[in-house]
Amino acid sequence: MTTLLRHTDGTPFRDLNHNGTMEPYEDPRLPVEERVEDLLARMTLAEKAALMLHGRMLPGDQRILPGEHEPFPSGAQLIPDRGLTHFAMMAVPDARTMAQWNNHVQDLAAAGRLGIPVTLSSDPRHGFTANPATAHTGGGFSTGPEPIGLAATDDPALVHEYAALIGRELCAVGIRVAIHPMADLATEPRWARISGTFGEDPERASRMIDAYIRGLQGERIGPGSVACMTKHFPGGGPQEHGEDSHFAAGRRLVYPGGEFETHLRPFEAAFAAGTAQIMPAYAIPSGSGLAEVGANFNHDVITGLLRGKYGFDGVVCTDFNAITGMEVPGVVSLPPRHWGVEHLSVAEQVVLTLDAGADQLGGETDPGLILAAVASGAVDEQRIDASARRILRDKFRLGLFDDPYVDPDEAERVVGTEAGRALGREVQRRSLVHLAGEPPAGTRLYVEGVDPAVAARFGTVVDTVAEADLAVVRLRAPYEQREGLLEQHFHSGSLEFPAPVRVRQLPSHY
């Protein structure tokens, strides 16, 4: 832990560079901009390059398999070895353990030359979806509906209250960047990620996005905020044929009816709410008039549209492993999602990403990727400074330079309380659609896919359709089973029920 000293006037400060003097970047009284500029001037190019990587981390650096199979380079080791200070948590244990892990990695960072604190981030964790690429469960957090359920409430005040709960719980364990919300519109019914959106109506989605971001961040970002990384600009919903952009079949976005502008509207709400960060889409915005390359590499998307038209000056972090893919030795090899630039070398893709205007490379952990771009002459250090400045600004705004530590006891008290779970259940109830009317007393019910004990509260449950007055059949939505460790988690493809289900008939009196 960094030594806490006092200035000659009594001001307490963290001695981040270990010299016993309160430097401007260590001075909590100064404006964020002054602190950023002072620190930036002290950083080497290698330190700036490390700042521009947003890697992955497992608490305790757990291994997926025994022996030598490690899914990623040791997150904890990347801090002293390569100077990385941004990590997406791939798993979260109980609140106390997670809080202790945060404090451990902050100690590692504090031992560095400049003591730049770690920023921990996470995909959604408060719903029911468990997909290793998009959302996670665990950690004992209060649970509620997925975003599509939040949208079903059409109650911005309730969504704001629930998002504020999410923010308190994440903050308590040390997670300070939310890699959500998704501002994508669900205009393609075959797409596997609709549950993570706020639906297809741009007006409702905009209301929900506004409430969600303000709930997590507050009206302005500060030490109690969780910064939002809104995704997937310029709108990852209209996937061609409904295929997901994690895979080559989903490499294109399409806009039937010329509805490109419609898909931008929820992002406009995110900008108005002050979203701190943006993640571009993997896919190519085909037919939009923008360059025909993936949004992560797309100058038209990031510099032209996002920074130019909308004036966004926050952090832009690419979607993860667009450039190098991800290798889990002995388990799976996931190719890069470099749609539209597959023909370029890794070095050329890095240059293209930086030229497009991205600040961080999601999933990457090798500072050499950025250092090589500068050494080649294709990228100058001023361009690196522009990104480092934005990244440092968020660390300062979140209060991490002044106190990145959390209290494990407080984390246990805050996470998963009965009040938090009760709010999650209330939001879940509000998200349900109630069909008016109930069956008359004594109605004989035949059910499939429904708990018979629950159905028995509304009538007499019978064993066969022939005995019943009313049949309630609940079916799982159809999808095409895919191969591959990751792709099987995405329920994509045809929505047509198989023939045995389509031709099934109930007795004539139904």
In SS3 terms, 282-330 reads as: CCEECCCCCCCCCHHHCHHHHHHHHHHHCCCCCEEECCCCCCCCEEECC
**Euclidean distance between CA atoms 486 and 360, whole angstroms:** 24
Structure confidence at residue 18 (pLDDT) = 94
Neighbours of 161 (CB within 10 A): 15
- 304 with 290: CB under 8 angstroms? yes
- Could you identify the residue written with the tokens 């059409």? 154
Q: Omega into 234 within 30° of 0, i.e. cis?
A: yes
Neighbours of 386 (CB within 10 A): 13
pLDDT tens digits in sequence order for the chain, 510 residues long: 667 888 888 889 999 999 999 999 999 999 999 999 999 999 999 999 999 999 998 887 544 333 444 445 567 789 999 999 999 998 888 999 999 999 999 999 999 999 999 999 999 988 877 766 677 777 899 999 999 999 999 999 999 999 999 999 999 999 999 999 999 999 999 999 999 999 999 999 999 999 999 999 999 999 999 999 999 999 999 999 999 999 999 999 999 888 999 999 999 999 999 999 999 999 999 999 999 999 999 999 999 999 999 999 999 999 999 999 887 655 556 789 999 999 999 999 999 999 999 999 999 999 999 999 999 999 999 999 999 999 999 999 999 999 999 999 999 999 999 999 999 999 999 999 877 778 888 899 999 999 999 999 999 999 998 899 998 989 888 888 887 777 777 888 888 888 888 777 655 555
Structure confidence at residue 71 (pLDDT) = 47
Nearest to 216 by CA among 326, 118, 126, 327: 126
Structure confidence at residue 340 (pLDDT) = 97
**Euclidean distance between CA atoms 155 and 160, whole angstroms:** 9
- 109 with 79: CB under 8 angstroms? yes
**DSSP conformation class of 29:** T
Question: For this structure, is 319 an active site residue?
Answer: yes
Structure confidence at residue 9 (pLDDT) = 85
**Euclidean distance between CA atoms 136 and 125, whole angstroms:** 5
- φ/ψ of residue 176, rounded to 5: -115, -5
**Euclidean distance between CA atoms 42 and 58, whole angstroms:** 30
Nearest to 162 by CA among 137, 186, 132, 142: 142
| DSSP assignment string, 252-287 | EE--GGG-HHHHHHHHHHHHHHT-SEEEE-SSEETT
- Could you identify the residue written with the tokens 């030229």? 355
Which of 123, 319, 366, 394 is labelled catalytic? Answer: 319
The Cα angle at residue 30 between residues 27 and 35, in degrees rounded to 5? 75
The H or E element containing residue 39 is helix 32-42
The Cα angle at residue 75 between residues 353 and 314, in degrees rounded to 5? 40
Max CA separation in the chain (angstroms) = 90
- φ/ψ of residue 487, rounded to 5: -65, -25
Q: Residue 319, exposed/middle/buried by CB under 10 A (0-12, 13-18, 19+)?
A: buried
Pair of tokens at residue 193: 């990620």
**DSSP conformation class of 239:** B
Helices 381-397 + 32-42 axis angle, to 10 = 130
Structure confidence at residue 1 (pLDDT) = 65
The predicted model scores a pTM of 0.92
